[in-house]
Amino acid sequence: MTASNRRSNLLRTSLLAPLVAVSLAGCGINSIPTAEENVNAKWGDLQSEYQRRNDLIPNLVATVQGYAQQEKSVLVEVTEARASAGRVQLSAADLDDPEKVRAFNEAQSRVSAAIIPLQRLQEAYPELKSNANFLTLQTQIEGTENSILVGRRDYNEAVQGYNTRIRTFPDAIGAKIFYGAKPKVPFEAAAGSQNAPKVDFNTAS
């Protein structure tokens, strides 16, 4: 190969390289993993809120138990729902598995539902209202439930953005060829519920 040919080939290569890079970028080479990392980050935030609630429940149960030991069925249900939810694990790698997401969602929804009856106990045991530890815990639980609502919304929005990206041109090309990307699964409302549970320990007695 002559020097002239080599220079010609180098010139063509230098001209084609940017075109190839732009073409690949337009096929989701960078945008797909970026969108997936956003989904994973939002899931991590939500997971932290579920863990925070999980950590608060034993203290709440212990505080209520000190005033209402005979209400064992309510306290046992909360404790069992918490334990059951702890056995259902969901990692970022499972977010494209509808069955695993559904099982996790249902387990966490049972925890939310089990907490609600605790608010009724203060009607029979109004002295709970004056217990500083109980008041602090109920405020923290309420805040965590609200954070879970926000976290679920943010996660679902990230999932919608990711799923739209991997299904639309031109990113769909890279999603299929380079990543074998699968749609992520959003969280849905628990069966039979119109609104997320509201934990309100300040119901008038």
Q: How far is it, in rounded angstroms, from Cα 12 to Cα 16?
A: 6
Residue 85 lies in a domain: yes
111 assigned to some structural domain: yes
**In this structure, what token pair is assigned to residue 137?**
């815990």
Q: Which helix (H) or strand (E) holds 68?
A: none
Is 83 within the bounds of a domain? Answer: yes
Q: Domains in the chain: how many in total?
A: 1
Q: What is the CATH number of the domain that holds 151?
A: 1.20.1440.20
Give pLDDT tens digits for 168-201.
998 989 888 888 999 999 999 765 444 444 444 4
Please indicate, yes or no, if residue 88 is contained in any of the structural domains.
yes
Q: Give me the percent of the chain exceeding a pLDDT of 70.
A: 78
Q: Looking at the domain assignment, is residue 163 inside a domain? A: yes
Domain span at residue 81 reads 31-179
Cβ neighbour number for residue 87 with a 10 Å cutoff: 7
Q: Is residue 196 part of a domain?
A: no
Query: Domain for residue 198, yes or no?
Result: no
Q: Which of 200, 204, 205 is nearest to 117 (CA)?
A: 200
Is there a domain that residue 120 lies in?
yes
Confidence of residue 6 (pLDDT cuts 50, 70, 90): low
pTM: predicted TM-score of the whole model, two decimal places:
0.80
Please give the structure tokens belonging to residue 5.
């040919």
Prior bond of 117 cis (ω within 30°): no
Residue 84, C-beta contacts closer than 8 angstroms, at least 6 positions apart: 107, 110
